[in-house]
Amino acid sequence: MEKQTRGYKAHVLVIPFPAQGHINPMLQFSKRLLSKGIKPTFANTVYISKSMHGADAACSIALATISDGYDDGGHAQAESPETYLAKFEEVGSRTLASLIKELVDVGQPVDAVIYDGFLPWALDVAKEFGLVGVAFFTQSCAVNNIYYHVQRGILPVPLSGSPVLVPGLPPLEPWETPSYVHDHGAYPGFVHMVLNQFCNIEKADWVLFTVFYKLEEEVLDWMSKLWRVRAIGPTLPSMYVDKRLQDDKDYGINLFKPHSAACMDWLNQKPPGSVVYVSFGSMADLDSEQMEEVAWGLDQSNYSFLWVVRASEQAKLPKDFEKSEKGLVVAWSPQLEVLSHESMGCFVTHCGLNSVYEALSLGVAMVAVPLWTDQTTNAKYVEDVWGVGIRAGKDEKGVVRREVLEHCLREVMEGERGKRIKENSAKWKRLAIEAVSEGGSSEKNVDELVDFLQNLNTSF
């Protein structure tokens, strides 16, 4: 059967790493491909598939599963990150191959595998079947360029005390590199994972980043000399950026159930630009001391605040903090709705890349409180490269004290520096929308990939 008779231009199998920050951008990209006539099948792990909220919102995307070897508990079931990642590679490779065969058997053969960069073994499986392999990186070009240079032995670790110089990046202090690099021995399993992304990258037919070109043009230009690199971001639901996909109003898959009504009802009562939104993401765990400092820093600032504290973390809140009348604490929020609300004044963020891109694309100023992994490098870019926020300084114990947080909030919300930050935020919002709109750089790159997939000389 020729591809033209299948009702779609090509069929791609999309394999995300099983974490919210990886699922969201890959699902959004799948929606974009679907709007252009490409059929995506989105394959989460069995455990993630069992844990999802709101999957009905993504029902236009075909869903499937592979196994990470821990179908009843995911990574929490494994005795260590190293054990989990090794089992995922072993079982994931086998079940991915089985899924590709199953899709052939039901008359839906796959043309390409779009895989999360954290899962390079998926590329090996794709090539065993003679399929196109598309690497999809959910961390920034800057961060991945650092990882590439470490993996190839060009940037030796442990780092010396000198500034780190990597092509396409500004000079970085060692502590501004990802924690997996500057604290090299602390996370052996994760270090192997992020460096191993480049073990077979030369076999990838395409390499995609969720950035847009003007945001990281120098490093994108450098990487383009190595691979077929394309920037296809920001990967936000269309109604928050270009507004061309009318039904695309949220990500559609949540691992935590948001308290949407409570958040929006509360925000609707607040004046424009008056609210501080605080979220440290889906994975980060603050220790009790840092949690207390954040709590009282927010309280002392006298700004209204909406703070996302996951249910598993709420026991760390100070006992008397619940008496604060200035804020609302929820276990999870509809973050895009929150950030785009007119009451939003600034975002206190851990600087996970999805959160940074959401704030940047929606024009929200940031106070950066990075914790680990790529967040330290992202925070450097937020403050010094893009000029859309301030990094909150830490003391000798690595804690952001309440006075520091309060000062940063006042500076962003009311200070002279805050005015410049908000002007930059508005500029980047405009550029983000331009990138994914008709004729924009990211839109052209997506169209180029679609044309490539459509023109594959494959028949069934």
Active site residues: 22, 116
Yes or no: say if 269 and 275 are a contact pair by the CB < 8 Å rule: no
Task: Give the tokens for residue 358.
Answer: 């959401």
Task: Give the tokens for residue 151.
Answer: 């993996």
Task: Give the tokens for residue 261.
Answer: 């009504």
For the chain, the first-to-last Cα distance in angstroms comes to 5
Q: Do strands 275-279 and 10-15 pair parallel, antiparallel, or not at all (unpaired)? A: unpaired
Which sign, positive or negative, has the C-alpha torsion 85, 89, 95, 99? Answer: positive
Amino acid at 53: H
Yes or no: say if 412 and 389 are a contact pair by the CB < 8 Å rule: yes
φ, ψ dihedrals at 53, nearest 5°: -110, 140
**Range 316-324 contact pairs with CB under 8 angstroms and sequence separation of 24 or more:** 316/286, 316/287, 316/288, 316/291, 316/292, 317/291, 318/291, 318/292, 321/295, 321/296, 324/295, 324/298, 324/299
The CA R_g of the chain, rounded to the nearest whole Å, is 22
Full DSSP string of 54-120: -GGGGTTSEEEEE--S-TTTGGGGSSSHHHHHHHHHHHHHHHHHHHHHHHHHTT---SEEEEETT-T
φ, ψ dihedrals at 132, nearest 5°: -65, 140
Burial of 171 (0-12, 13-18, 19+ CB in 10 A): exposed
Task: Kindly give, in sequence order, each residue whose CB lies less than 8 Å from that of residue 31, ignoring residues fewer than 6 positions away.
Answer: 40, 58, 60, 61, 237, 238, 245, 248
Q: How many CB atoms lie within 10 A of CB 430?
A: 12
Yes or no: say if 261 and 330 are a contact pair by the CB < 8 Å rule: no
Amino acid at 242: D
Burial of 409 (0-12, 13-18, 19+ CB in 10 A): buried
Full DSSP string of 370-428: --STTHHHHHHIIIIIS--EEEPP--TTS---HHHHHHHHHHHHHSHHHHHHHHHHHHH
